[in-house]
A and B are shown apart, each in its own frame.
Chain A
Amino acid sequence: MTVTTLATLAALGAFHGLNPAMGWLFAVARGLQERSRRALLRALPPIAAGHLASVAIVAALVAATRSVTTSTALAVVGGVLLVAFGLWRLLSERHFRWAGMRLSAAQLAGWSFLMSSAHGAGLMLLPVLVAEPVPGGHSGHLAAAPVGALSGLAAAGVHTVAMLGVALAVAMLVYQVLGVGVLRRAWFNVDRLWAGVLVAAGLVTLLRA
Chain B
Amino acid sequence: MTRWTPDPTFYPSPREAVTAPAEKLAYVAAFDRTASRPDAIVVLDTDPDSPDYGRVVGWTDLPYVGDELHHFGWNACSSALCPTAPHPHVERRYLIVPGLRSSRIHVLDTQPDPRQPQVVKVIGAEELAKRAGYSRPHTVHCGPDGIYLSALGGADGADGPGGIAILDHTTFEVRGAWEADRGPQFLAYDMWWHLTQDVLVTSEWGTPPMIEDGIIGELLLGRRYGHAIHFWDLAKRRHVQRVDLGDQYQMPLELRPAHDPTKSYGFVGVVISVEDLSASIWLWHRDGDAWAVTKVIDIPAEPADPADLPDLLKPFGAVPPLVTDIDLSVDDRFLYVSCWGTGELRQYDVSDPLHPVQTGSVHLGGIVRRTAHPAAPDEALAGGPQMVEVSRDGRRVYVSNSLYGAWDDQFYPDGVGAWLAKLDVDVDAGGLTPDERFFPHGDEFRGLRVHQTRLQGGDASSDSYCFP
Interface residues of A, Cβ cutoff 8 Å to B: 20-21, 25-26, 28-29, 32-33, 35, 93-102, 111, 180-181, 183-185, 187-189, 191-192
Contacts and interface: CB of A to CB of B under 8 A. Distances in A.
B88 A187 contact: yes
A94 B81 CA distance: 16
Contact of A98 (B8, B84, B195, B237): B84
B247 interface: no
Given A29-B466, A33-B196, A100 B235 contact: yes
Contacts of B466: 29, 101
B170 interface: yes
24 contacts: A28-B83, A29-B83, A32-B262, A35-B468, A93-B170, A95-B145, A97-B85, A99-B84, A99-B235, A100-B198, A100-B234, A100-B236, A101-B196, A101-B198, A102-B196, A102-B197, A180-B467, A181-B13, A181-B16, A183-B81, A184-B10, A188-B4, A191-B2, A192-B4
B235 A189 contact: no
Pairs of residues from A and B, 7 with the lowest C-beta to C-beta distance, nearest first: A100-B235, A26-B83, A180-B12, A25-B83, A99-B235, A93-B170, A180-B467
Nearest to A102: B198
Interface string B1-29: 11111101011110010000000000000
Nearest to A19: B86
**Which label, helix, strand, loop or mixed, suits the secondary structure of the B interface?**
loop
B83 A189 contact: no
Contact of A33 (B8, B235, B262): B262
B101 interface: no
A187 B6 contact: yes
How many interface residues does chain B have, given as a range? 35 or more
B82 interface: yes
A101 B262 contact: no
Contacts of B137: none
Contact of B85 (A29, A33, A96, A191): A96
B37 interface: no
A188 B13 CA distance: 18
B145 A99 contact: yes
A183 B85 contact: no
Contacts of A21: 83, 86
A98 B85 contact: yes
Contacts of A97: 85, 145-146
B224 interface: no
B86 A20 contact: yes
A26 B84 contact: yes
Contact of A32 (B10, B170, B235, B467): B467
Contacts of A191: 2, 87, 89
B257 interface: no
B85 A95 contact: yes
Given A25-B86, A32-B468, A184 B11 contact: yes
Contacts of A26: 83-84
B261 interface: yes
A180 B343 CA distance: 42
Given A95-B145, A100-B234, A188-B4, 11 more contacts: A25-B83, A29-B467, A93-B1, A95-B170, A96-B85, A101-B83, A102-B197, A184-B10, A189-B2, A189-B3, A192-B2
Contacts of B82: 29, 101
Contacts of A111: 84
Interface string B287-329: 0000000000000000000000000000000000000000000
Nearest to A93: B170
B8 A184 contact: yes
Contacts of A20: 83, 86
Given A29-B467, A33-B261, A33-B468, A93 B85 contact: no
Contacts of B4: 188-189, 192
A118 B139 CA distance: 32
B198 A181 contact: no
A35 B144 CA distance: 22
A135 B89 CA distance: 43
Contacts of B87: 95, 191
A94 B2 CA distance: 12
A98 B198 CA distance: 11
A185 B16 CA distance: 13
Given A29-B83, A180-B13, A185 B5 contact: yes
Given A181-B12, A187-B6, A99 B234 contact: yes
B147 to A, nearest CB: 12
A33 B197 CA distance: 9
Contacts of B86: 20-21, 25
Of listed B13, B195, B234, B466, residue having the most chain A CB within 10 A: B466
A20 B12 CA distance: 13
Contact of A184 (B6, B236, B237): B6
B194 to A, nearest CB: 9
